[in-house]
Structure 1
Amino acid sequence: MESAFALLARQPEIALFLALAVGHAVGAIRFGPFQLGGICGTLIASLVIGQTGVRLDDDVKNVAFAVFIFALGFTGGPQFFANVAREWRIGVLSLVEVFVLLALLAIAVPLMRLDPGTAAGLLAGAATESAVIGTASEAIARLALTPDAVRVLQTNIVTAYSVTYLFGLIAIVLFTSQLAPWLLRENLRESATRLWQKLGGQNDMQEGQTAALPLLVARVLRVEGVAGMRVLEAERQVALGVTIRRIRRDGETFKPSPDEVLRAGDVVLAVGRRDAMIPFAAAVGPEMPEEPGMDAVIQAEQAVLLTRREVAGLTIARLRQAVDVGMGRGVFLAGISRMQHRVPTLPETVLERGDVLTLSGPDEAIRRVVPELGYAVTPTIRTDFVFLGIGVLLGMLLGSLSMKIGQVDLTLGTGGGCLVAGLAFGWLRARFPVMGSLPAPAAEILKDFGLATFIAAVGLSAGPDALLLITKFGLLLPVAGVLVSIIPAAVSLYIGRRWLKLDMPILLGAVAGQHCSTPTIMALTNAAGNGTPVIGYTITYAISNVLLPLLGPIAVVMASAMAAH
């Protein structure tokens, strides 16, 4: 009977999917608040399976990485360009991360005698950015080295990453949720509560939780406190918005205009957000039993991609003031999704281009207001492979271009080229929604499967060489990973607090976004008690997702130049 080792060597595709399955199972194991995640788990599993000597073709690795990096740029394109232009105060922290990482690398390379592969792996793991592995691997392949030397350096990337990632992740989670509040002498939960209230919040629901009570409610009220006011004036008693849909007066029921004057004794049907309805009902008068003709209409929901430049940058409260009279009256904002994260829907929350807004209200009113915001996100499972294929192709062609300056051959490589193409195609899709179709779930699958396949291929190819690096550095790599993770975060904390004057929850969320770390923002929102850190997280996350992968080739060139001297 054929041995398992022989079967894996003869059919390496079995080893690939074994590494994916085992790696994601290991990555799902929770150690207190920490999880390795599927990518790091896949890397560890593939390193172990790679001891059998199984190898995957480089073509598999290259195609998987190209698809991943294009999808990464595509999903982040709209938010990247919006945040670079508008949110530079918070986005500058991503630049702080980049410069401090390079400075630390310049110190670590000669001090620890790091080769280019280990230097890039240290940077990737400490910054918890898996995409650096791909861009650095491409850069090493372009060095004037023998195939065996290239393989060893690429092995060192994934080994150093696997060793430093876990320690870097633990360090940044503890820093943002525990150490940073202590350094700032503030209670994180109390600060997040104050910020929530400052933004107009009236409840303390945490990120990721679902309200047991409905978001939109209807009440039948008898007019007392607002008698003599116009309907619009009465509605503006609350910031988040309530709409008076019906009035019963002298036995007749009618739809009021915004200028209709309310009279004492009128019975009104009010529809709006539950948190706004409480103060509104207190201002209007006592609640009445439901009567025929005063029942609330069924609400329709529609997701809308915000693309209108006139709306981006407005707070929710300002937006409501702008549309109370006219086509948008009676439409409510039920939710905001930004970079796949839910943003608190508060009166002072600022809307950004690329946000996905969930609108609720009468169907005809929603159809009128959608073009004023952007375009409707129609649920679809169809992917336009012409659009996807041309995008990846252009990215590869762009990456193949090079320019020689002195002895240095400058090129974006497949990773950089596909990242730029993905950003451009994502931006074009947001501006011109008739172009192409790459639904968010499909893009997420491309990212997850592409990166996991690339990581598994690299890990399998590393094989027994990985043990040599671990033996050489011992505990030195984990310690370096903690320092390279914490020091940029500490510098950003100082700059964000001392110079940028950011509120602590937003600042800590921005620090988590610098590392593009989903486990960190989850731990941070749990510690904060609400979703306010997400506001800062999505800005730096969008920018760092583009900048950090570009550091892979820089780290390789820097370490190579230092080794030469």
Structure 2
Amino acid sequence: MLWQLLVRQPEIALFASLAIGFFIGSLKFGPIQLGGVCGTLIVALILGQSGARISPDLKNIAFALFIFALGFTGGPQFFANIGRGWRYGALSLVEVIFVVALVLGIAAALRLDAGTAAGLLAGGATESAVIGTASEAVARLNLPAAEIARLQANIVTAYSVSYLFGLVAIVLFVSQIAPLIVRVNLRDEAERVWRQLGGDGALAEGQAPAVSPLAARELKVTTAAGLAIGDLEKRFGHDISVQRVVRERSVVKAQPAVVLKAGDRIVIAGRRGALLDAIPLIGEEVFSNGGSDVFVEKVDVMLTNRAMHGLTLAQARARANPAEGRGVYVAAVTRLDSTIPALPGTQVQRGDVLTLVGAKADVARGAAKLGYIIRATQKTDFVFLGIGVLIGIAIGRLSAHVGGIDLSLGTGGGCLLAGLVFGWIRSRYPLIGSLPSAAAQILKDFGLCTFIAAVGLSAGADALRLIREFGIALPIAGIAITLGPAIASLLIGRLLLKLEVPMLLGAIAGQQCSTPAISALVGVTGNSTPVIGYTITYAISNVLLPLLGPLVVGLVSKLG
């Protein structure tokens, strides 16, 4: 009865796959969490035994929206990291080379078809988007419809099996095995790097500073009498700023040229460490509520200034014109969907979102020099979105004949490239192309999981057959495809590129596009230093790996 209902109303199977799949994906087994995509696929494979099928049109639309949003959100970071983040970016190339070589070698040894090989690529590299680009490539093969359906089913089944084992392998590798190979205590090493970057202490998992790094105080001037405000601020590296001066009940505008007098009551704000050092040299703290109407603003700014790219926050502060940088402080740095530590030694890149704190006029001035303020909005520019997807579909229809192999990006690859370019355009010209981060996340999550559920339902009937045919070979192959590039990157990154271990392991998690791996790694290190390396390789691998789907399908089909 239930099976018949699912066949008559396949939308029930779709939303059941999403609901139950995300519930399963949310469960944690130690450091391992399957995630919503894998959970959805597992449930869809089971429900697919009923014969329920989702319209191919819905599947294609969902994937196009997902892959465009993926490119759109990663575009600024991708182009920013191509040139100057080469040491970390090189690890994404290591991933690509080793993954393709291993997949082709395993396909030849086990005599795998193109679908199974592409599924191993998607699962071993833990990159779900490969399922879509590879499925499109299979659909373009000159084969009967039944054979195409079988190969597409093999993609999904091989992915589901190899992903489970690949996920466990990469989580354990970066958090447990790799530190033993390079012989370091990962937590101690992460704390050392944190301090080297300018942090004053490492935080354990779940901890947050009890005291804000930015603070303000009201002082009565004694020792600093006769000192100009500009000279006072310069003495402390412009890590403090005078926000208000009250002299004999009159408010004096706090300009750098103003000379402080004994008895002045001033409101001073800035980095807590510099502020505490400055208080004894200024006077004594008072509590008169004279600063109760002095307010600060917090705004998010997209960094577009080329001159800032690659600088540390300390270098940016040192190079800034004191008049322009006065009273502006960076409270947080967000790259892609990750927050990286806003420490003096943290490098910023074009496309980063900097959270600025300061007085309204100071923040507006600083934002104008750094990039543009990201205005809170819930509106999506559907003209921009629609044109982007249309251009992506057009690009995907282009094809080339290379070495006897017909290569085409397909809708997935075309929309990914279009999304990258449109995301970059949006970062340069912020008045057009609004796609709020929450809306983009919905497109990515719902688009991918709807696509995954659709292909899982279609593949359900063939899943058991493939597992019986290859048995334990698929899990072992998935682990090999996962660990091969990871071990190579560990050796290359440590011995040749001389990368710090926490950032290197974060980069390895990023080249696998593995959120569970970086989460487990941050838990072990006790601070967010690994995220610095993760964001660079994640941005690049998220683009390169999906493009490998058509390549592997073409090569394996030719070899077979």
TM-score category (smaller protein): over 0.9
Change (3 A) 1:318 1:207: farther
In the superposition, the TM-score normalised over structure 1's length comes to 0.94
Contact 2:221 2:284 (8 Å CA) reproduced: no
In the superposition, the TM-score normalised over structure 2's length comes to 0.95
Match of 1:410 in 2: 407
Shift of 1:476: 1.7
Amino acid of the structure 2 residue aligned with 1:89: R
Contact 1:507 1:536 (8 Å CA) reproduced: yes
Name the CA distance, whole Å, in 2 between partners of 1:278 and 1:518: 39
Amino acid of the structure 1 residue aligned with 2:490: L
Structure 2: gaps (5+ residues): none
Where 1:501 maps in the other structure, the secondary structure is coil
Contact 1:508 1:533 (8 Å CA) reproduced: yes
Change (3 A) 1:347 1:19: same
Cα deviation code 1:227-281 (max 9, x no counterpart): 7765445435556822122456788764443355667887643212335434444
Name the CA distance, whole Å, in 1 between partners of 2:196 and 2:255: 32
Match of 1:11 in 2: 9
Which of residues 492, 503, 511 is equivalent to 1:495? 492
Amino acid of the structure 2 residue aligned with 1:504: V
Which of residues 537, 541, 545 is equivalent to 2:538? 541
Where 1:13 maps in the other structure, the secondary structure is helix
Structure 1: gaps (5+ residues): none
Contact 1:218 1:296 (8 Å CA) reproduced: no
Aligned residue pairs total: 560
Contact 2:137 2:408 (8 Å CA) reproduced: no
1:71-86 matched pairs, under 5 angstroms: 71-86=69-84
Name the CA distance, whole Å, in 2 between partners of 1:180 and 1:278: 41
Match of 2:145 in 1: 147
Match of 1:273 in 2: 271
1:458 matched to 2:438: no
Change (3 A) 1:391 1:24: same
Shift of 1:406: 5.9
Shift of 1:552: 0.8
Shift of 1:337: 0.8
State the Cα RMSD in Å: 2.2
Cα deviation code 1:288-309 (max 9, x no counterpart): 2223535571211111111121
1:470 matched to 2:439: no
Where 2:531 maps in the other structure, the secondary structure is helix
Match of 2:118 in 1: 120
Name the CA distance, whole Å, in 2 between partners of 1:209 and 1:129: 31
Change (3 A) 1:463 1:204: same
Where 1:383 maps in the other structure, the secondary structure is coil
Where 2:322 maps in the other structure, the secondary structure is coil
1:241-320 matched pairs, under 5 angstroms: 241-247=239-245, 254-259=252-257, 268-281=266-279, 284=281, 287-291=284-288, 293-295=290-292, 297-320=294-317
Which of residues 142, 159, 162 is equivalent to 2:160? 162
Match of 1:346 in 2: 343
Name the CA distance, whole Å, in 2 between partners of 1:96 and 1:238: 45
Name the CA distance, whole Å, in 2 between partners of 1:186 and 1:225: 49
Contact 2:126 2:513 (8 Å CA) reproduced: yes
Where 1:326 maps in the other structure, the secondary structure is helix
Shift of 1:284: 3.0
Change (3 A) 1:456 1:196: same
Shift of 1:34: 1.1
Name the CA distance, whole Å, in 1 between partners of 2:388 and 2:58: 19
Name the CA distance, whole Å, in 2 between partners of 1:441 and 1:178: 34
Name the CA distance, whole Å, in 1 between partners of 2:545 and 2:237: 40
Change (3 A) 1:4 1:195: same
Amino acid of the structure 1 residue aligned with 2:113: D
Name the CA distance, whole Å, in 1 between partners of 2:205 and 2:273: 17
Name the CA distance, whole Å, in 2 between partners of 1:296 and 1:274: 21
Where 1:464 maps in the other structure, the secondary structure is helix
Which of residues 421, 426, 448 is equivalent to 1:424? 421
Which of residues 132, 135, 143 is equivalent to 1:134? 132
Shift of 1:408: 2.4
Identity among equivalent pairs (%): 55
Shift of 1:470: 0.9
Name the CA distance, whole Å, in 1 between partners of 2:520 and 2:235: 36
Match of 1:441 in 2: 438
Name the CA distance, whole Å, in 1 between partners of 2:190 and 2:228: 37
Match of 2:364 in 1: 367
Amino acid of the structure 1 residue aligned with 2:134: A
Amino acid of the structure 2 residue aligned with 1:434: L
Contact 1:202 1:275 (8 Å CA) reproduced: no
Amino acid of the structure 1 residue aligned with 2:171: V
Amino acid of the structure 1 residue aligned with 2:385: L
Cα deviation code 1:321-353 (max 9, x no counterpart): 344622331121111111010010011111111
Change (3 A) 1:288 1:407: closer
1:54 matched to 2:52: yes
